[in-house]
Chains A and B, each alone.
Chain A
């Protein structure tokens, strides 16, 4: 998986899965723009780690649900790297609640970041990738977007939306040699999942045939593959990386 000289933008790359994606792309040779919204210090740590690998990197603050901020971010990446080959739409939040209790605001916030954000970032990079006649867009969805999950109506709706958006973008952009794929992680150990109560985790473990939780690197390795030339004939797909939870 050689990504030597490729330019990548990873949203939500200061922590968790996004951080590992940014680092692995850099290990394969890519220069990486590390997007964050809140944790600048952590984003800078990722930048330093990437630079230590001998690649270029910089942190870029942006709320992915804000179209003008997204346009500025994409411009900064293209100005810095001179091109943009790989976009990983990873930024996401959760605001869990039972459907009956879910506030309109909780719904809107999650849809805006997790779904509208993917639309805005994809739209913003398309122009550059069309010109280059080459591009890779990788969307981080979720296995719950395939299967549903109680207490996560907003998150599930957004992630299912991302899978549909992936297929449509793949069809629209295929003629320009831009591939668009999604990855649906199962239970991956991150800050986001550490918050769950132990009994919930124990219950989830029973549903995983490989009987362990995944790690961010399990997702990052697949992203690096999809970003590479080796994945050139694959588009519009959703890869389940979930220890066999959903088949």
Chain B
């Protein structure tokens, strides 16, 4: 769990240029981390690569917070 969060956090920090302290589980990509729709699509793409999984468009649409992403990855690994 912690390891997943760590890897997810690194990707978000790199991609969105936010401070690590802002990346909390309940932080919303769009509302709290300044991502636009395309940023979220790209984040999902990077998560797919990082964790070697495929996230369907339907599932990707439900990922709006850092916690959503972490939970998704943990339950689909």
Contact = CB atoms under 8 A, between A and B. Distances in A.
Interface of A: 127, 130-131, 172, 175-176
B2 interface: no
Contacts of B42: 130
B45 A172 contact: no
Nearest to A128: B45
A131 B45 contact: yes
B45 A127 contact: yes
A40 to B, nearest CB: 31
Interface residues of B, number: 4
B38 interface: yes
A175 B38 contact: yes
A127 B42 CA distance: 8
Nearest to A127: B45
A175 B42 CA distance: 12
Contacts, number: 9
Contacts of A172: 38
B51 to A, nearest CB: 16
Contacts of B45: 127, 130-131
Contacts of A131: 45
Of the listed residues B38, B41, B42, the one surrounded by the most CB atoms of chain A closer than 10 A to its CB is B38
A131 B50 CA distance: 14
Contacts of A127: 45
A172 B37 CA distance: 10
Interface string B39-67: 00110010000000000000000000000
A127 B45 CA distance: 8
9 contacts: A127-B45, A130-B38, A130-B41, A130-B42, A130-B45, A131-B45, A172-B38, A175-B38, A176-B38
B50 to A, nearest CB: 13
Given A130-B42, A131-B45, 7 more contacts: A127-B45, A130-B38, A130-B41, A130-B45, A172-B38, A175-B38, A176-B38
A176 B41 CA distance: 12
Contacts of B41: 130
Nearest to B45: A127
A2 B41 CA distance: 32
A176 B45 CA distance: 14
A242 to B, nearest CB: 34
Contacts of B38: 130, 172, 175-176
